[in-house]
Amino acid sequence: MAERIIELRDISKSYGQVYALGGVNLSVDRGEVVGLIGDNGAGKSTLIKILSGVVRPTSGEILVRGKAVTGWSAARSRDAGIETVFQDRALAVQQTIVRNIFMGRELTGFLGWLKVNKEIEEASRLMREIGFTSKVFTPQSIVGQLSGGERQGVAIARAIYKQAELIILDEPTTALSLTETAKVFHFVRQVRASGRSILFIGHNIHHVFDIADRFVVLDRGKVALTADRSEVKSAEDLINFMEDVAHPGGLAGLHDTGDAERAVR
């Protein structure tokens, strides 16, 4: 059995009276791509924020490589080798690409002085590695001047620096062009080939189906389904399942694919 990178046990999160998550179990093993799907309000974002340490769970246990952790925080999550590409990309748009890539992890030498040249060098290497290069920008360009796809590239470059063991991609293909989406998929395959893990959150079930080894369906704060790739024949299977979960008792009239897709979107 592959090493377990992270495991969430019985995680709950409530905001006042509102339950966002009610007892979620989720684990990611080394080298697997887990696809997390669920309707709006299913609790996907809360789950990601807990994994990345931004939000603390109300109750439950987090295990990193089999060991329970205390004092979970964003810094601790990154130290544990978990990097997150947030849906809003979490970039500081008035800063340079370099400053964004090294945000919270500045390359410093004596007394905290920045190794500016080393940062620029590393940043250009990273950008070239993932294929986000351009004539019009350099590592010292301001992020606010970049297109959506280029910004996503910066966010991904930040995540792969330091060989993270688990990369969380939160709706990485939203608002991207076809070629940019293709680049993201290519990147996911590269990461898996290098033996690292990915948690892929997507709205588009076809995208998730194409890429994941295992699917986790979240519904109203609970895991409704965990299935290996071999157990699911097609994306339509997943869509039908989600529909059943969303509307128990069935919506007989909705079973042509067009409506079904609309229902899960």
The residue among 143 and 169 lying less far from another protein, judged by its C-beta, is 143
The residue among 210 and 259 lying less far from another protein, judged by its C-beta, is 210
* Shortest reach from residue 214's CB to another protein, in Å: 16
* Shortest reach from residue 10's CB to another protein, in Å: 25
Q: Write out the H or E segment, with its range, that includes residue 82.
A: strand 82-85
CB atoms within 10 A of CB 29: 17
Q: Are strands 67-68 and 59-64 parallel, antiparallel or unpaired?
A: antiparallel
* Shortest reach from residue 20's CB to another protein, in Å: 18
The residue among 24 and 130 lying less far from another protein, judged by its C-beta, is 130
The residue among 42 and 98 lying less far from another protein, judged by its C-beta, is 98
82, 63, 80: which is closest to 6 by C-alpha? 63
* Shortest reach from residue 186's CB to another protein, in Å: 5
Three-class DSSP category at 31 = coil
Do residues 152 and 89 make contact, with C-beta atoms less than 8 angstroms apart?
yes
* Shortest reach from residue 102's CB to another protein, in Å: 8
The residue among 151 and 196 lying less far from another protein, judged by its C-beta, is 151
48, 63, 55: which is closest to 7 by C-alpha? 63
Sign (positive or negative) of CA dihedral 178, 179, 185, 188: negative
Do residues 33 and 212 make contact, with C-beta atoms less than 8 angstroms apart?
yes
Residues that bind another protein (CB under 8 A): 52-54, 73-75, 77-78, 84, 86, 90-95, 99, 102-106, 108, 112-114, 116, 124, 128-131, 133-138, 140-145, 158, 178-179, 182-183, 185-186, 189, 206, 209-210
What number of residues does the chain have? 265
